[in-house]
Amino acid sequence: MTEQSVLHKMEHWGYYLLPKAHPESPGHTGLLVAIRATSTGQHFDPESMRLRLCDKADLAGWVTLKLQSSFSGSQRVCPGRVVLRDRADKRVHFFTFGGSLETTSISGETVYSLWSPGPILEISSSLESVPDQLAFEVEALLGKLKAKWGSDDTGFTERLAKIDPLQFYLASLQAILKCYQRNRAFRDSSPELFAMLLKEKEWLVQVGQWPATPPSLEDLLAPQMERGGE
């Protein structure tokens, strides 16, 4: 999308989710967020967007973006929550497996465009939808992997900043699928999530994105000693 098409798309929106890669995907291919100097009062008007970006030191760090953008060009987005907040402190949550962020600015308005090869999950207020459950499972896996780094937060955030979004998505799906396939109680408690995981893997196989040997989360994010001292 060109800058003009992005601005035109966001003319009547505070944020906009781009189409899904396929109808049964758990998330969307992109997220556009418009931050304006003056609230329209006609919809949810974000005042800020908080997400994890790769910083100048090549570390994954939390950043809060507002109307005045501090960067230009494309920025690397790291896995994690994306939180939009308005002037009344109402919040809208998403989860991304990583991607890129671009900025388009005109007088009184900045549009942030987040793109990802993995689905951007929209988190509902009920926390009961399939995207909610998938985000929860991935965040739990991230928490376990981070714990393996102990007090080495820098090592973990450096690894997280370098991770390929699609590889991280594939590894996450593989890890959750294995867990659910081994544990019937999980399948029975979240049948819709399990069905989605199977369909998503089937679609990835059909489009040639599911490798013969999918990456593991340990290979991608565990400390070197946890990966066999390679």
What residue ranges do the domains of the chain occupy? Answer: 3-123, 130-223
The answer to whether 19 touches 28, Cβ cutoff 8 Å, is: yes
pLDDT digits (tens, 9 = 90+) for 26-79: 999 999 999 998 887 778 899 999 999 999 999 999 999 999 877 777 999 999
pTM higher than 0.85? yes
Positive/negative CA dihedral, 217, 220, 225, 230: positive
Tokens matching residue 221: 């994010």
Positive/negative CA dihedral, 13, 14, 18, 23: negative
Q: CA of 213: how far to CAs of 102, 171, 210, in Å?
A: 33, 10, 8
Domain 3-123 architecture: Sandwich (2.60)
Predicted local distance difference test score (pLDDT) of residue 230: 41
The answer to whether 160 touches 141, Cβ cutoff 8 Å, is: no
CA neighbor of 101 nearest in space, from 118, 120, 76: 76
